[in-house]
Structure 1
Amino acid sequence: MNLCHCQKAVKYSGAVMTKKLFSGYRALAVVLLLAFALFALTGCSKKEGDKGTAPSAASPQSASPGAAKRPPVPVVVAKAQKADFPVSVNVVGTVEPLRSSQVRSQIGGLITEVRFREGDAVKSGQVLFQIDPRPIKGNIKQLEAELSRWEAQARSAESQLRALEAQAKTAESQVRTTEAQAKVAEAQSKTAEAQASLAGAQEKRYQTLMEKDFVTKEQFEQVKTGSTAAESSLTASKATIEATRSSAEASRSNAEALRAQVEAARASVESAKASGEATGAAIENAKIQLGYTTLTAPFSGLAGSISARAGDLVKANDASLVTLNQLNPILVRFAIPEGDLPDVMRYRKEGTLKVKAELPGRLGETREGKIVFVDNAVDRATGTIALKAEFENSDGALWPGQFTNLRLTLYTLGGAVLAPSPAIQTGQKGPYLYVVGADMTASLRPVRPGPSEGSLTVIEEGLAADETVVVDGQLRLTPGATVMIKPPVGATSETSKEAAK
């Protein structure tokens, strides 16, 4: 009723004012009218509101000295735990065989036999493929015959060489003999020349004496005969010198020829031996090629798909015939951020580094292994470094090409205080959480969180074991607020009671 009276009064007053100011102040009057009407409406609404709240002010709650008490805030809580906490890095790895080999033929030929089946477990040294060895065996026989021929030729050349060397020695002896004879002949010639000179001088002296009748003609003739004999002896000595010299030159020529024949025979021997050695090397190579006709497994492993069958013609170093993988032990390759590398190297050296792999298809099952490889460089494109871990795999739980989750445990924190990760909030002053006291009030507690794993985080400072922390409902909390513990989603009544305790 008051609102209606006010509205009527506003309308009446507005009408009166409009009539008085209508001449000349129409626009101003309209503005003032609207402002007055708005003020009047506001005043009426306020009075109506005061009348509506009057009973509430008279209630017992309004009579209390403080503000109205807020209802308890429903929250989900959990207990802080004290336990050993493994600090680890979780990564995804790829399973790889310890060794993998693509079996190829090193020679060309016809496959005559395949001695295994696809998927078989083969042992090291087991025959896999047999290539026809007959062409190579025939080549070996031919080469062996050629080797025998070269060996016989070498023996014949050696015999000829020994004979020529003996002849050469004889010729050298003859050269020395004829040279000695030539020297003797030269000495005899000098002697004959001296005797001829002496006989000639004596002949001249006797001729003068005969002309003076100091000697008889018979004496002169006797001396002249001696002089003639001396001249004849000198001529004979000179002829002997020439003969011995010619003989010496002939001996030298013969010796040189024999030496040349010796060198030729020696070269023939070396050539025959070299040819024999080359043939022997060809035989060894052919025997190696013969060994290539039998393809064996380089290690024990599992055979894959076969790409060639008996009767197929293969080429040397062509496509792979089969791939072998060694599966026990087996490797898992993975990568970690380069920032974790110093910790990995440190704890690996200390012996605390452990690695576990989840077995694909076996929920919850893990297998422990060891780090066997750390790459020698960081991948610049990804900022990671590659590692390999080795695992026992006698049951074939890990298979090449599979992806598996790995947990690389660096070290273990003993007696660490653990809180659920959702309990930790971040504010302007840093991380904090709410702790519920025995009086069911929440207090804000600054904390210093450490490493986390799954749903748990290590609290390094600010929280003690067995304290109750708020896990859900923090947005409605203020320090000192009363809380009401509610069960988490999907929890049973027993779980709720345990949380309340």
Structure 2
Amino acid sequence: MKLIKFTLISAAVLALAVGADMAWRNRAALQTFAAEEQAPAPAAGAPPPMPVPTAAVVKKTLPVLLTYSARTEAIRSVGLQAKVSGFVAAQLFPDGANVAEGDLLYRLDSRDYEVALEQARAVAARDSAALDYARATANRSSSLVQSGSLAKDTFDQRSSTRLQAESGLAVSEAAVRSAELNLSYTEIRAPFAGRIGRDRAPVGTLISAGGATLNTLVQLNPIYVTFNPSERDLKEIIEARGKGPVSVDVTVPGVESIRHKGELTFIDNMVDPQSGTITARASIRNDDDLLLPGQYVSAGLKLRDDDDVLMVPNIAIGSSQLGKYVYIVGKENKVEQKLVTLGQTEGDLVAVAGVSEQDRIIVGNLQKIGPGMPVAPLEPALALK
């Protein structure tokens, strides 16, 4: 009986011990689970800084230029006309040819004028002979009248005949010169060097004096370039011109190979109140004859040279509602944005105001970065590889 009772007590104690152990294990598991739930999750791996190519700010001396749309204009342009009537006998140069001053361009039928010259010379020869006779007679009469062998009235008549013969010869000699001129006018020559245009009077055409134009001749070298600066630019241009000649560079838009130089030679004396501009003109050397009258060109006036101009690559320039900007590598290699004002360009560089010479300009991956982002700047030499 005692044994059974002891056994029951032992079993009860064992059951209580097992239950206590299970309760402790369950509570520890719950505490561990709660701790795991409350502990913060480990941070995800942050991406590495964006590598960006950079470029240094370039300091240069740049010319201050004012650029205008312009038109070329011939310094001299004439229509070739005949001074005498006649048939066109020959055209000596083809259409569009370059000619020198004095070159024979057209010849008219000269036979009528050759005959007229021969007639004038014959009349002059006759009058010259008549004058010789009149002079000899007057000279003899002078000695006779002094000796009383000739009446004074007769002497006066012979003297008058001599004077009339002199006048007659002068008239006939003038007629010879006129005939020579008319004959020379059958040859139409270039009054200056230039280029002729399209023939308008084929061989065989009857031309009247001062009538139809046979052709046109324009001077190509030098050539004028006319443009219209605004009245706002006028002060700077006049000041620059007062210090010396203002050089002008002329280019043809879209044709980089055509570039000519010259000098500002004329500024008009009145501003157009409608447009607020004034007419100006430059004389341009055109040795290769690539510029033709009426051509659209660009004229750049060099006013002076500016030293220490800061320039950055064109590709670094961005645009926003606030204006133009560049990204630079700032403190702790973070992106900084600087607003800039653009100036003139030279090759791949553009002049800017708003940066310092020490700035490192970001020139790549511009669409992938923004202000405040960390970056890994590449040195300029490495960025160019």
> Is 1:380 matched with 2:272?
yes
The answer to whether the 8 Å contact 1:330/1:393 transfers is no
Helix, strand or coil: the match of 2:300? Answer: strand
Counterpart in 1 of 2:123?
Answer: 146
Q: Per-residue deviation at 1:292?
A: 0.9
- AA in 2 matched with 1:374: F
> Is 1:86 matched with 2:83?
no
Superposed CA RMSD in Å reads 4.4
Q: 2:161 & 2:379 partners in 1: Cα distance?
A: 107
Q: 1:308 & 1:116 partners in 2: Cα distance?
A: 13
Counterpart in 1 of 2:3?
Answer: none
Counterpart in 1 of 2:85?
Answer: 108
Q: 1:338 & 1:283 partners in 2: Cα distance?
A: 59
The answer to whether the 8 Å contact 1:356/1:366 transfers is no
Counterpart in 2 of 1:355?
Answer: 248
Q: Per-residue deviation at 1:312?
A: 0.9
Counterpart in 1 of 2:194?
Answer: 301
The answer to whether the 8 Å contact 2:87/2:204 transfers is yes
- Aligned-pair identity (%): 23
Counterpart in 1 of 2:96?
Answer: 119
Residues paired across the two proteins, number: 324
Q: Per-residue deviation at 1:345?
A: 4.8
Using the size of structure 1 for normalisation, the TM-score is 0.53
Per the alignment, do residues 446 and 293 of structure 1 end up closer, same or farther by CA in structure 2, a change over 3 Å counting?
Answer: closer
Q: Per-residue deviation at 1:88?
A: 0.4
Counterpart in 2 of 1:273?
Answer: 166
Counterpart in 1 of 2:26?
Answer: none
The answer to whether the 8 Å contact 2:80/2:216 transfers is yes
The answer to whether the 8 Å contact 1:111/1:309 transfers is yes
Q: Per-residue deviation at 1:324?
A: 2.2
Q: Per-residue deviation at 1:287?
A: 0.4
- AA in 2 matched with 1:259: K
Counterpart in 1 of 2:22?
Answer: none
Q: 1:484 & 1:262 partners in 2: Cα distance?
A: 125
Bigger share in helix: 1
Per the alignment, do residues 360 and 380 of structure 1 end up closer, same or farther by CA in structure 2, a change over 3 Å counting?
Answer: closer
Q: 1:118 & 1:309 partners in 2: Cα distance?
A: 11
Per the alignment, do residues 391 and 466 of structure 1 end up closer, same or farther by CA in structure 2, a change over 3 Å counting?
Answer: farther
Bigger share in strand: 2
Per the alignment, do residues 170 and 320 of structure 1 end up closer, same or farther by CA in structure 2, a change over 3 Å counting?
Answer: same
The answer to whether the 8 Å contact 1:352/1:410 transfers is no
The answer to whether the 8 Å contact 2:317/2:326 transfers is no
Counterpart in 1 of 2:261?
Answer: 369
The answer to whether the 8 Å contact 1:331/1:389 transfers is yes
Deviations 1:377-408 (A, max 9, x none): 234344313112313342x4333322112222
Q: Per-residue deviation at 1:494?
A: 12
The answer to whether the 8 Å contact 2:317/2:325 transfers is no
Larger radius of gyration between Structure 1 and Structure 2:
1
Q: Per-residue deviation at 1:266?
A: 1.9
Q: Per-residue deviation at 1:484?
A: 6.9
> Is 1:322 matched with 2:212?
no
Unmatched runs of 5 consecutive residues or more in structure 2: 1-39, 41-53
From 152, 167, 181, the equivalent of 1:288 is 181
Deviations 1:268-309 (A, max 9, x none): 211211111011011111101111111123344332110011
Counterpart in 2 of 1:397?
Answer: 290
Per the alignment, do residues 361 and 423 of structure 1 end up closer, same or farther by CA in structure 2, a change over 3 Å counting?
Answer: closer
Q: 1:361 & 1:288 partners in 2: Cα distance?
A: 51
Q: 1:111 & 1:441 partners in 2: Cα distance?
A: 83
The answer to whether the 8 Å contact 2:226/2:279 transfers is no
- AA in 2 matched with 1:401: G
The answer to whether the 8 Å contact 1:360/1:398 transfers is no
Unmatched runs of 5 consecutive residues or more in structure 1: 1-59, 61-76, 175-254, 486-492
Q: 1:426 & 1:355 partners in 2: Cα distance?
A: 36
Counterpart in 1 of 2:15?
Answer: none
5 Å-filtered alignment, 1:67-466, equals 80-171=57-148, 258-348=151-241, 353-362=246-255, 364-371=256-263, 373-381=265-273, 382=275, 383-394=277-288, 396-418=289-311, 437-439=330-332, 452=344, 456-459=350-353, 463-466=355-358
Q: 1:312 & 1:116 partners in 2: Cα distance?
A: 17
Q: 2:294 & 2:226 partners in 1: Cα distance?
A: 10
Using the size of structure 2 for normalisation, the TM-score is 0.67
